[in-house]
Amino acid sequence: MNWSLFCVVYLIVVTVTMGVFIVAALVTGFNEIAHILIVAILGMIVAIPEALFFSKKVGSITGNEA
């Protein structure tokens, strides 16, 4: 696996995922700091398989999946 590609994809994916989760938490009324921290950590964990999936797809398109 191309780790540099994974790191770049992870940085983008974790930002988007955490943002979506935090906005969803705020809209549903979970606006305490403990809830926001839990959602942020959950977003960081959920972003790992997403980044693996997208980095493998991009690597297979460019031919750098080794």
pLDDT number for residue 65: 62
pLDDT in tens, 8-66: 999 999 999 999 999 999 999 999 999 999 999 999 999 999 999 999 898 888 776 65
Domain enclosing residue 47, as ranges: 3-58
pTM: 0.86
How many domains does the structure of the chain reveal?
1
The answer as to whether 64 is a domain residue is no
The answer as to whether 63 is a domain residue is no
The answer as to whether 19 is a domain residue is yes
Q: Note the Cα 29 to chain centre separation in Å.
A: 23
The answer as to whether 65 is a domain residue is no
The answer as to whether 7 is a domain residue is yes
